[in-house]
Structure 1
Amino acid sequence: MLHDFAAISRTIIEFISILIIMCGVVVAIFRGCRLFFAMRSGSSLPRDAWIQLRLSFEDTLMLGLQFLMAADIIGTISDPDLQGVIVLSVIVLLRVILSFTLSREVAEMDRQKRESAAAPHVE
């Protein structure tokens, strides 16, 4: 009974993970197209609009990976095998890499904003 509950829970959480990632992809494509066509029409865009889009997409990927990691943890606990542990390890590694990349990019954006705010404005 516990094994069946774990299997159903894992499937539901994996499905949620796929939904989160797919929603993130659709939103990123929509925003990217909007930015692209705004640039082509000559609209002025914030300098970091593309970076914001990428950061938002990475956030969504990280959330989806967290759900996937939870599903794999449930699967590994209920039915431990080497393949499950390897898949879980790869997901954790991807999550760590995305986290590291995201934190570096956010820090760089903050640094650029501080520098541009501190720079004298010439008119």
Structure 2
Amino acid sequence: MFVDVSGWIALFLEGLSVLTIAIGSLDALLKMLPAVRIRLGSQGARRAAWLSLGRWLLLGLEFMLAADIVRTAISPDWNDIGQLAAIAVIRTFLNYFLERDLENASREAIEAHGSTPAELR
């Protein structure tokens, strides 16, 4: 029973991850539409879209990692543990650098505008 429940939880987390990334992509696209419609492609709109997508991607990656951890709890042989370790290292690496880029972009926005603009929050 534990294996079945864990399998469903992992599947749910993977679906949640895909949904999170899809919502983030749609959100970023919607943030870009005014700039595309005006044909300016302003740096502010692109930056806001990039920051928004980055935040959603971070959340999606966390859900994917959680699903991998649950799947490894179901069948903990050394091959699965090694794969989880490799995936965790890669995703942690991606999360670290993406989060660092987001923090730098927010810091630059604060320096440029004196405070964080509403579209970057």
Tell me the equivalent position of 1:120.
Answer: none
Bigger CA drift: 76-85 or 25-34?
A: 76-85
Residue of structure 2 equivalent to 1:75: 71
Aligned pairs (5 A) from 1:31-110: 31-38=31-38, 40=39, 47-81=43-77, 82-83=79-80, 85-86=82-83, 89-90=86-87, 92-110=89-107
Alignment coverage as a number of residue pairs: 113
Deviation (angstroms), 1:14: 1.1
1:84 and 1:27 mapped to 2: Cα distance? 35
Amino acid at match of 1:100: F
CA contact (8 A) 2:27 2:52 kept: no
Residue 79 (structure 1) shift: 1.1
State the match for 1:121 in structure 2. Answer: none
The residue type paired with residue 2 of structure 2 is: L
CA distance change for structure 1 residues 22 and 112 in 2, over 3 Å: closer, same or farther? Answer: closer
Q: CA deviation at 1:76?
A: 0.5
Partner amino acid, structure 2, of 1:102: E
What's the C-alpha RMSD, in Å, of the aligned pairs?
Answer: 2.6
Distance 1:112 1:76 in 2: 41
Q: Larger deviation: 26-35 or 16-25?
A: 26-35
CA distance in 1, matches of 2:105, 2:11: 38
Larger radius of gyration: 1
Which residue identity does 1:49 align to in structure 2? Answer: A
For normalisation by structure 1, the TM-score amounts to 0.72
Which runs of 5 or more residues in structure 1 are unaligned? 118-123
Distance 1:112 1:71, change over 3 A: closer
Superposition TM-score, scaled by structure 2 size: 0.73
Give the percent of matched residue pairs that are identical in Structure 1 and Structure 2: 23
Distance 2:109 2:60 in 1: 29
